[in-house]
Structure 1
Amino acid sequence: MNGQLSNGLPGLGTSENRIIKLNTREPVILRGVNRSGLEYAGPDEQGFLSGASLSRSEIEFIVRDWQCNIIRLPFNQDFVLRGRLGRSGEEYQQAIDQVIYWASALGAYTLLDLQWLDADRTYGNRNFVAPLPNLESIELWTTLAGRYASEPAVLYDLFNEPHDRLADDLYPLNKEDGTTYPPGQGRVTMKEWQPWARKLTQAIRSENPDALVFIGGTNWAYDLRGMPMDLENVVYSTHVYPNKGNDWPNVFGNLSKTVPVFAGEFGGSDTRGDLDFIQRLVQYLGELEIGWTAWSWSDSPFIVTRYIPTAFGDVVRQALSKA
């Protein structure tokens, strides 16, 4: 792509516990939202972006009106590699290209998030988020890292939410060597996840040595205990929701004092208890200078409804305005 999608945005890297602009070495705190939809929405007659109701005007509203400098973009592995409903994988990748271009033209980075492996297989009742990646995830990241090798506006979130198998999940856990763990094994700890994180990072770096890679924790990406890994230029990503509790210092806060930490997702309902939780979390993240992308602009828990902020969205917007 030769930087055609990045509109002059500088490359990002890490220094100690901060994300920095590589051209100036200036620290930068990335704050924004998740714009979900491309991970599940098939194309309509106009294509994948229309199928996900994703437009340039919406990206402009997110970046300019809400002052986001990053958009986390969940996507579907199978759509990248094979397309969907008669549309090719190349067409799906072009849709991702377009979002990257729209965002970067306004000054925002795009964090590509491997959210779903496909749109057909469930991992437990109606759960489309797999516990671990599969071998095609290596091909996936090799493909995208090659496509965006010269695009500093593109950041890489390896795998959405590593987690234990659910009780009704019929599939065994995948190992990074192509085999599987015993069918009775349900736990996903750092022992199972970190080899995958290493393998996927290597796949990206084989095509794009300078890529900034985001690595989630276990327990649906929440728990970063057991990090960091012996990898350079990575950010460790936590997902924080009210049902996970409040042990933030041990789970991710203390880690942020030595390596870059990011909250790839957080959210909650418009109830008083959840809103109090989110207010405290946003304040805590701010005190530690941890960046974040709130979940979700377009899926529950909603940040906006028809562009009008929910009570949760008001908290997010106020935090962005103070950045």
Structure 2
Amino acid sequence: MSPPPRLPILLAGAALLLAGTALVPLVSTSAAGATPLCTVQYATTNQWDSGFQGSVTITNNGPAVSSWALTFAFAGNQKVTQGWNAKWSQSGTTVTAANESWNGALATGANISAGFLASWSGTNPAPTVFKLNGVTCNQDTEPPTTPPTTPPTTPPGNPGAPPKLHVSGNQLVDQNGATRRMLGVNRSGGEFMCVQGYGFFDGPVDDASVAAIASWGVNTVRIPLNEECWLGLGNVNPAYAGTAYISAVRDFVGRLEAHGITPLVELHWTYGQYTGNSSGCADIHATCQKPMPNAQYTPAFWTSVANTFKADPAVTFDLFNEPYPDRATATADQAWACWRDGGTCPGIGYEVAGMQDLLDAVRATGATNLVLVPGIAYSNDLSQWLRYAPTDPAGNVAAAWHSYNFNTCSTETCWDSTLAPVAARVPLVAGEIGENTCGHGYIDRVMQWLDQHGASYLGWTWNTWDCSTGPSLISKYDGTPTAFGAGLRDHLRALS
């Protein structure tokens, strides 16, 4: 499922300025008392009734970089009107100064100054927090980057660590051999907020918000991600990309695990231009759902994600949100071959990475984490999943399915004929279930069928959107359910 349309991108101008710029992230390794990786001096050099002139002097104390971007936020209503020695842009109170083509190199110990003119009224306080390529300057250690900044805490009652799930026959079991099911919700935002220039997540992901999720009897949360944000590609605001984005995701994963919840990290939006049947957008960048992953960046994404979490077998991987090569190809066999093997696929103009490619990328890192592999037709069709399933040397793969009332396979007859054979062979995880009725009549049927077959399911989505724009489980982040969400909440609580 894709998130509802948002307002026009506030950082469109900044994104255009930064397009094609490959930023080199700084990696925070300083210990307490060490020199900060970067320092910034801010000064108001001249001020008059409605405007002022300001400057920043940036010193890089870390590794040399070939490009840079400085971000800070005004505390008042100041607005940058023009600048020099950098490409200046502003979204709300957040200001970005990115290097010009001629001053991108910043060696260790080097500094550079840039200036600007801005308007103001009322008060003109100086900014207090500055970030260079996503790393906070003027301090010895880097604080958590996920807003708000409350650290993970062990909740009352200490639920313990989440299970280390793995496949045993057609069931998921934990490290003690006990049968488990993944029952929970999706937490949308990580796939679109960063690339649209708004931040990391849509709404809070602090300890209180995770406690609200846990109060529903949830044991799993699926976290949609964006490959361009994770890899820190140049079209994404560097404040929300690369190391900053990865840190935000890791912080959220840590908070979930502190509540005994299994984190399910999933690739949602990817690079690659597709304008064919059922195209979500004409953009080459990761700003919508594409029919298949791309060979250029997606294997690298999964290599990085697997390396990040391979030491934590409690984290589960979901390879790709909703493949739909069947909308581009002429036959189902072509679609399934594309799905598994990738390469040059009919109707898709970029080189495709198949499910086998992505699984290979994960396993090549040594990661043995549980991996979910979705079907085609937006993950709603598993009819040939067993025939085309990728080979896993770790033997730790489950089938992922998505189900909405408006999908083709939305009846018990279809589930009995196409899902039951899969669920009899491998674990079945319904990564998304939902309906656009603002009620829960459909998911009640889905949950009943999945319960009978020992399968897992996660509701879409723990976000406060109006139900007319998409299935939203909550109206407030304290866990207040919508009518749709009440059905899932009550069912999960009855099972827990």
TM-score range, shorter chain: 0.7 to 0.9
Deviation at 1:54, TM superposition (A): 2.9
Supply the distance in 2 between the matched residues of 1:252 and 1:177 (Cα, whole angstroms): 22
**Cα pair 2:326 2:376 within 8 Å, conserved:** no
- Name 2:375's counterpart in structure 1: 217
For 2:181, what is the secondary structure of its paired residue?
coil
Output the aligned Cα RMSD: 3.1
Deviation at 1:47, TM superposition (A): 5.2
Alignment counterpart, residue 168 of structure 2, candidates 8, 15, 18: 15
Residues 173-184 of structure 1 correspond to what in structure 2 (within 5 A)? 179-183=343-347
Amino acid at match of 1:76: N
- Name 2:19's counterpart in structure 1: none
Q: Look at both structures and tell me which one has the larger radius of gyration over its CA atoms.
A: 2
Residue 128 (str. 1) matches residue 288 (str. 2): yes
Distance of aligned partners of 1:243 and 1:197 in 2 relative to their CA distance in 1, 3 Å threshold:
same
Residues 41-56 of structure 1 correspond to what in structure 2 (within 5 A)? 41-42=193-194, 48-49=200-201, 52-56=203-207
TM-score by length of 2: 0.56
Residue 111 (str. 1) matches residue 264 (str. 2): yes
Residue 32 (str. 1) matches residue 202 (str. 2): no
Deviation at 1:124, TM superposition (A): 2.1
Gaps of 5+ in 1: 168-172, 187-191
From the two aligned structures, give the one with the greater helix fraction: 1
Gaps of 5+ in 2: 1-151, 155-159, 282-286, 329-334
1:24-82 deviations in Å (ceiling 9; x for gaps): 11111110000000100038999524x6543222112101x111110000010100001
Distance of aligned partners of 1:113 and 1:48 in 2 relative to their CA distance in 1, 3 Å threshold:
same
Supply the distance in 1 between the matched residues of 2:170 and 2:260 (Cα, whole angstroms): 23
- Name 2:484's counterpart in structure 1: 312
Alignment counterpart, residue 443 of structure 2, candidates 268, 275, 278: 278
Residue 226 (str. 1) matches residue 389 (str. 2): no
Q: Which has the higher contact order (CA 8 A, sep 6+)?
A: 1
Residues 1-323 of structure 1 correspond to what in structure 2 (within 5 A)? 8-22=161-175, 24-42=176-194, 48-49=200-201, 52-63=203-214, 65-82=215-232, 84-87=236-239, 88-117=241-270, 124-126=279-281, 128-135=288-295, 136-164=297-325, 179-183=343-347, 196-228=354-386, 229=389, 230-231=391-392, 232-244=395-407, 245-246=410-411, 247-271=414-438, 275-298=440-463, 299=465, 300-306=470-476, 307-323=479-495
Q: % of aligned pairs identical?
A: 28
Distance of aligned partners of 1:281 and 1:86 in 2 relative to their CA distance in 1, 3 Å threshold:
same
Distance of aligned partners of 1:199 and 1:278 in 2 relative to their CA distance in 1, 3 Å threshold:
same
**Cα pair 2:184 2:221 within 8 Å, conserved:** yes
TM-score by length of 1: 0.84
Q: Which 4+ stretches in 1 moved above 6 angstroms?
A: 43-46, 119-123, 173-178
Supply the distance in 2 between the matched residues of 1:108 and 1:250 (Cα, whole angstroms): 32
